[in-house]
Structure 1
């Protein structure tokens, strides 16, 4: 697929029987395609699809070369596809032959000897950041985590500058002066200048990250065990230098389970780890004093770490999308797929997750698995997940959000076929179930929900030390310990939300860059972020989203 700016539409795959509008097209527009001409009989908004031949009820619709839906009513040539005339449909899948041949992108060679400056850990991994983690084993400890945050962050120079107090002061003054509701609503609030944060006491530590969650007890034992595995993934994460863990004591998520999960991921774990149980220690003041002293001592050790050169094979990139649109699968996601292939060719790791958004491409992904065991595991996870969703009355077909649908992703299979492009073309070396850790280089498939924050949280827990996150609608999603780089699929959203977006792939749609050129710029950006030379917007904003997956249905 290539974008020709002389055209206002694109056919993604030669087998597709619909076209994608690259700009708003009015009814009456003449379409010249493959030597034939026809007239649009409906308006077609940019990112949406329209037919190139008449479809009868039940006829199949193909995009990206795969089945993505069936006509629910007769559709004339030149009509827009909508939720009223198209329903989700996807091909079945079974164990097939291995199809692991692939072509390394030519541009990969220029990265062969490139390095980044990272933090080398005892287990051989390399961090792109150096954080101290403070986390509760159960929601009962959330308040104590917040108390520690208030006590430590500002004093040690890790507090994010606040910026809206001046605006509130203006509203208070206006109200006290007798301003009406209309005056309040029409007030021109100027953004207050950022106050410089105090100098960091520990310059080699990027921050102290305080995590809250609502799990650890009261739910299923499966969920509490998975939580311990997830937290172990964060504690052993290459971007984490050490951690403080607060436990109440009586909850399902026991300290011993967490310790076992840590050992499972790193048998020779040697990072500073503070683990305190409130019911053993007693009063809050005793708990806080012990937590403060031991955490401070741990920070002294963590500050001894410095950045050193590391090969790109030490990168593990999470491939994520959220707030997707009809351009995601033809701009940002394919560019991310090239980045994925480059990194795999260099011996690095990538993680493709969001299993509800692989619906319809199961055959391709299972065929790309390096052996039948991995293929069988992938198919089992997909079938089991979808069956559980359907049992609750909401199968994978219900995955697209209102925003997805509004911007052209009207069936789950359309969304999935475009989302899968993030995984490039390399073989699948491993299939992981949440919250397992990445242990093999190459493309890893990780079973997670399609929900942005849950999936990003899981990818980082499995070892991603950078996350590339594509979005067509704009989302501020970030992560406490791994930098999340936001990639826009279109120029309009990039210009509208520059405070949360980092890279613009709308240039692909406009014909200003090829997919390969965009991928090169993206990987160069990743290397700068991994070296600590650049901060993505999510890091600048302190967007520390963390939501563990409750193994019930979440799409």
Structure 2
């Protein structure tokens, strides 16, 4: 990065804006790369101020790329905001040859390993789960009944259904205590009272993937749902599955079986299929599902962890609740880890195509073949056209929280989000629900919606996910450990129960992107080995929302 201090940062020598690292008052003297000016307006931390006068229609550059257009004349030293800046992005076209990639030094990692579950198809899991899956939303209630029947009894749920002992409050009320006295009571049960010993110690849990799909929409959505479910069943973190079908829905068992066959799993993983309309009696149907699941758990419990090389890791790269520091600290740190992993023969997966708007050409130029470059261009164009067709567009991507914390345009947000993908070549381009089969950096077409995206990353085979955030998020995944990384110290302290890793030292100058990246990779090896648990795992944040592209019929 070009010149910086602890008050502001210019990210690229081509930029005509700088980022405020602290709240800066009007009149503050700023000196950047030979440019000296006094701020015309106050600029809040995470926001940007201009380094030169801009006319109306003038281009604004950040990270060396076009991120917006001035809607009025802007004097040097003025803060950018939605009143004086709108989205603008560079057009993209044919592939331009790039220089050969220079990977980071990885000698210290070559002999390292993690302790994982080796599966019959050669992949390695970072966890060991059993799944209970409905093929259609009509089966969600039955899935919930099975959940209630099994979790607590097998030691995967809390010893009681809630951490709250409501009896403490009821007894106080009946004793005539005032509302003020009741407010002073503590109804939380001790943590020790909420834990139970697992019946199957080598099985990390049973996961129940309820959803609102499988019927009532277009056939393509049912097929995509089956492919995503197949990806979860085939996942190296999953030992096997119990699949519940009503019988008459669009998402039929043979469609799921065909999707599983495409993963090459025939005869290599136990899957129990049950159809309610064929059984008839609901109680019998549920009992049969419980018995088959119990038998599957007995089989899954035979698996144990064994050493695996780092090349067996497939890392999902995700961001959400982003702020003006995300593209400066957390995302580049994750990008460095992505490059380390790729250099070691592993895989990294960059998703969220709406948040690559404006950096398409860079990614096109990084594709290892023209066919991949063309596929990426086609997916981006089709997605953008679909958004425009319903009266929206990528330019509407930044949320109110993004804008409030410095990400004013989609191109500005995208330029920072793309830093999660590091600098390595793009070895494959995947549509939603397509599996990762090639080592290296993969691009996966998903929405910017956090849960639809993480659902897709897991469904394509990521066995770890790192989720960068500047504002905080409770998002997790049922089968893949999700590591939440804060872009700033304040968030890491404020939401300590949700955050696993803090990249804020990059902002304060206490550490470098490279050093914090190596710290993160070390932490990820502990998560992959099961010796470290993530906040999302501890809190049971099992978010699962498959992407639907069609309409309800």
What is the TM-score of this pair, normalised by structure 1? 0.96
Deviates more, 1:50-59 or 1:244-253: 50-59
Deviation at 1:348, TM superposition (A): 0.5
Per the alignment, do residues 279 and 339 of structure 1 end up closer, same or farther by CA in structure 2, a change over 3 Å counting? Answer: same
Residues 510-525 of structure 1 mapped to structure 2, 5 A cutoff = 510-525=508-523
Deviation at 1:33, TM superposition (A): 2.0
Tell me the distance in 1 between the aligned counterparts of 2:301 and 2:99: 44
Residues 462-477 of structure 1 mapped to structure 2, 5 A cutoff = 462-477=460-475
Tell me the distance in 2 between the aligned counterparts of 1:162 and 1:409: 44
Match of 1:292 among 276, 290, 293: 290
Tell me the distance in 1 between the aligned counterparts of 2:364 and 2:431: 15
Counterpart of 2:98 in 1: which secondary structure? Answer: coil
Counterpart of 2:327 in 1: which secondary structure? Answer: helix
RMSD: 1.7
Alignment deviations for residues 463-485 of structure 1 (CA, whole Å, 9 cap, x no partner): 00000110000001100000000
Number of equivalenced pairs: 550
Per the alignment, do residues 189 and 199 of structure 1 end up closer, same or farther by CA in structure 2, a change over 3 Å counting? Answer: closer
Match of 2:317 among 313, 316, 319: 319
Residues 48-87 of structure 1 mapped to structure 2, 5 A cutoff = 48-87=47-86
Tell me the distance in 1 between the aligned counterparts of 2:406 and 2:527: 32
Per the alignment, do residues 541 and 256 of structure 1 end up closer, same or farther by CA in structure 2, a change over 3 Å counting? Answer: same
Tell me the distance in 2 between the aligned counterparts of 1:152 and 1:49: 53
Per the alignment, do residues 211 and 267 of structure 1 end up closer, same or farther by CA in structure 2, a change over 3 Å counting? Answer: closer
Alignment deviations for residues 33-76 of structure 1 (CA, whole Å, 9 cap, x no partner): 22332111211111000011111110000000000000011111
Tell me the distance in 2 between the aligned counterparts of 1:153 and 1:72: 57
Deviates more, 1:33-42 or 1:251-260: 33-42
Per the alignment, do residues 467 and 37 of structure 1 end up closer, same or farther by CA in structure 2, a change over 3 Å counting? Answer: same
Mapped pair 1:386 → 2:371: no
Mapped pair 1:496 → 2:494: yes
Deviation at 1:267, TM superposition (A): 4.5
Deviates more, 1:171-180 or 1:282-291: 171-180
Tell me the distance in 2 between the aligned counterparts of 1:151 and 1:126: 30
Alignment deviations for residues 440-498 of structure 1 (CA, whole Å, 9 cap, x no partner): 00000000000111100000000000001100000011000000000000000000001
Structure 1 residue runs without a partner (length 5+): none
Which residue number corresponds to residue 278 of structure 1?
Answer: 276
Which residue number corresponds to residue 190 of structure 2?
Answer: 193
Which residue number corresponds to residue 258 of structure 1?
Answer: 256
Which residue number corresponds to residue 542 of structure 1?
Answer: 540
Deviation at 1:167, TM superposition (A): 6.3
Tell me the distance in 1 between the aligned counterparts of 2:128 and 2:378: 37
Residues 83-98 of structure 1 mapped to structure 2, 5 A cutoff = 83-98=82-97
Per the alignment, do residues 58 and 167 of structure 1 end up closer, same or farther by CA in structure 2, a change over 3 Å counting? Answer: farther
Deviation at 1:166, TM superposition (A): 3.7
Tell me the distance in 2 between the aligned counterparts of 1:183 and 1:211: 42
Residues 267-416 of structure 1 mapped to structure 2, 5 A cutoff = 267-416=265-414
Tell me the distance in 2 between the aligned counterparts of 1:396 and 1:538: 29
Structure 2 residue runs without a partner (length 5+): none
Counterpart of 1:288 in 2: which secondary structure? Answer: helix
Which residue number corresponds to residue 8 of structure 2?
Answer: 9
Deviates more, 1:262-271 or 1:449-458: 262-271
Tell me the distance in 2 between the aligned counterparts of 1:266 and 1:285: 34
What is the TM-score of this pair, normalised by structure 2? 0.96
Counterpart of 1:351 in 2: which secondary structure? Answer: strand
Which residue number corresponds to residue 451 of structure 1?
Answer: 449
Tell me the distance in 2 between the aligned counterparts of 1:361 and 1:92: 9
Per the alignment, do residues 168 and 61 of structure 1 end up closer, same or farther by CA in structure 2, a change over 3 Å counting? Answer: farther
